[in-house]
Structure 1
Amino acid sequence: MRRHSFEHDGLVFSFLDAGGEGQPLLALHGHWMGGSDFSGLAADLGPGWRLIALDQRGFGETDHNAPHDIPAYLSDAIALLDHLSIDRPVPVLGHSFGGVVACHLAAARPDRVSALIIEDIGVTLDDDSSAHVANWGGVFRLREDLEDRLGPRLSPYLQNSIRRVADGWTLNFEPAEFLLSERAINGDHRGVWLQSRCPALVVSGSESRICDPAELQAMAQSRENTAFIQLRAGHSVHIDAPAEFARHLRAFLEDSCA
């Protein structure tokens, strides 16, 4: 995947694009992560699918200190598609935070979304991670110091979110800004989920500490034209079970976007 950038809403956005002649697939990452976490998936889906992964505002290499709300997230995704001159509907994969954005995008702009893949996120959120991430900010002299601060469970998933700066190592998101984003997506999204009509796939990680698989299955059953699968994985299913995730995703895309 090659990295590119564009300007929108007074910000510089960064994104990764697999390129090629495949059908476009827009990928929206979860909190703490970025577009680079989909690089392996892009390779697994190519060349039939051209995966395009946005660093959402405040994350990855996109500008920080930006206003955070759902209308802004939707405008960012549409601006990326417009920048690439993609005006036909495309499937949208959303992991966690990105899944909430994807749900709202399909409801608000059905003319731009042909299918939904919702990865391990429900429709009712009431999260407060302030105590958890409060000591993640700042610059750490050694990379290992930052990894220790993240802890052995989360550090492996945040490797792409660690960057080198002049005085050491830091995260490529600000914990305080992440909390603004977390608050922006808290709430009941059931009405929005049921509003869209495109084909959808809900993917659950059986070992996820974020979502109850039974709730995700009920979420899928509540909406027409929606399938459900559970893979042996944690919250980041596409990272924990990459080959199986890609296989199911390809089958869904071929069936729903043929």
Structure 2
Amino acid sequence: MFDRGRVISAGEAALYVAEAGRRDGAPIVLLHGGLGGRSDFEPLAAHLAAEHRLVVLDSRGHGRSPLGDAVLSYRQLTEDVAAVLAALDLGDAGIIGHSDGGIVALRLAASGLARPRFLVTVGAHGSLPADDPTRALYRSVTAAGWREMFPAEVARYEAENPAPDFERLFEAVRAMWLGTGPDAYPDQSVRRIAAPLLVVHGDEDILVSRAQAFELAEGVAGARLLNLPFASHTVLQDSPAEVAPALTRFIAGIGRDGTAG
């Protein structure tokens, strides 16, 4: 579905952007998670393409976008997305972000670099304290272990990236996951988000706890929380038919003034 696209410059990065769905539909920008790519959204896109213009990009280092020389951080990815949105005149598009893509969406809306019509975050951390067990999990995983767990995803990356170096990408992404400070997780800045927000959480997500999803939803005025039982971190890929009705209802309930109904 997202095999044909174009390259858009974001500073020194060249980001691959593809589209699907209705060209005249309300735009939704899709932001994938770490070590993933644009194809991760194909299961969900099948439920949204009939009514929406879907725009998806490979973040730097992922898919068909080279890593470049900048240090990978959530701040850098946020600036990359802002540059793409400006180039496409999509600063007010809706955004659906999974995992790292959701973190970037939160930072983007909190920063004012864009004013999205709505946000949907799926399996995304608003904050990650120093003692959070997820940090220990991130420290324990290796590039070799990731290759063993996700061979098809790594093979796809190596087949289509213009300068594939999975070990380098893995270390850059893991450093971003473990990052702290103003370039890392949005933390209390989420309280500045004015866009309607739907927080989607799989109840068996091993990275984001139920309490963290609740905390994020409570931290943004008017936010909604969808907690799906028996669902994992990859709920958009595993159970798109369960998520899509809630997304459709959430989007349909947003008024013309950008407020949730």
Common fold: TM-score over 0.5: yes
Aligned-pair CA distance for 1:198:
1.3
Residues 242 and 12 from structure 1, CA distance in 2 versus in 1: closer, same or farther, beyond 3 angstroms? same
> Whole-Å Cα distance in 2 between the matches of residues 213 and 91 of structure 1?
25
| 1:174 maps to 2:174 | no
Match of 1:135 in 2: 144
Instruction: Kindly provide the amino acid, as one letter, of the partner of residue 243 in structure 2.
Output: F
Q: Which runs of 5+ in 1 are unaligned?
A: 138-145
| TM-score, structure 2 as length reference | 0.81
Question: Hey, what does 2:77 align to over in structure 1?
Answer: 73
* Structure-2 separation of matches of 1:200 and 1:80: 21
Query: Quick one: distance in 2 between partners of 1:173 and 1:17?
Result: 28
Partner of 2:120: 117
Q: How many Å separate the matches in 1 of 2:19 and 2:67?
A: 21
CA contact (8 A) 1:100 1:185 kept: no
- Higher mean Cα deviation, 186-195 or 57-66? 186-195
1:48 has 2:46 as partner: no
Partner-residue secondary structure (3-state), 2:224:
strand
SS at match of 2:251: helix
Deviation of 1:209 after TM superposition, in Å, equals 0.8
- Mapped partners of 1:34, 1:96: distance in 2: 12
Q: Does 1:95 align with 2:92?
A: no
- Residue of structure 1 in register with 2:10 after alignment: 8
Conserved 8 A contact 1:201-1:228: yes
Deviation at 1:159, TM superposition (A): 6.6
Deviates more, 1:67-76 or 1:226-235: 67-76
Gap change, CA 1:26 and 1:188, over 3 Å in 2 = closer
The unaligned stretches of length 5 or more in structure 2 are 257-261
Report the CA distance between 1:52 and its aligned residue.
1.0
Q: 1:135-179 deviations in whole A, cap 9, x for unaligned?
A: 258xxxxxxxx5xx22xxx557x37844338xxx98597212222
Counterparts in 2 of 1:237 and 1:66: CA distance versus 1, 3 Å? farther
Letter aligned with residue 72 of structure 1 = Q
Q: CA deviation at 1:107?
A: 0.9
Moved more, 23-32 or 64-73: 64-73
Identical positions, percent: 25
Against the structure 1 CA distance between its residues 37 and 106, is the aligned structure 2 distance closer, same or farther, given a 3 Å change threshold?
Answer: same
Q: Which residue of 1 aligns with 2:34?
A: 31
8 A contact 1:163–1:171 mirrored in 2: yes
Change (3 A) 1:163 1:30: same
Do the aligned residues in 2 keep the contact of 1:205 with 1:235 (CA within 8 Å)?
Answer: yes
What secondary structure is seen at the aligned counterpart in 2 of 1:202?
strand
1:114 match: secondary structure? coil
The offset of 1:8, in angstroms, is 2.2
* 1:194 corresponding residue in structure 2: 191
Aligned to 1:124, what secondary structure does the other structure show? coil
Compute the displacement of 1:182 (Å). Answer: 2.0
**Of 231, 234, 237, which aligns to 1:236?**
234
Shift of 1:15: 1.9
Q: How many residues align?
A: 240
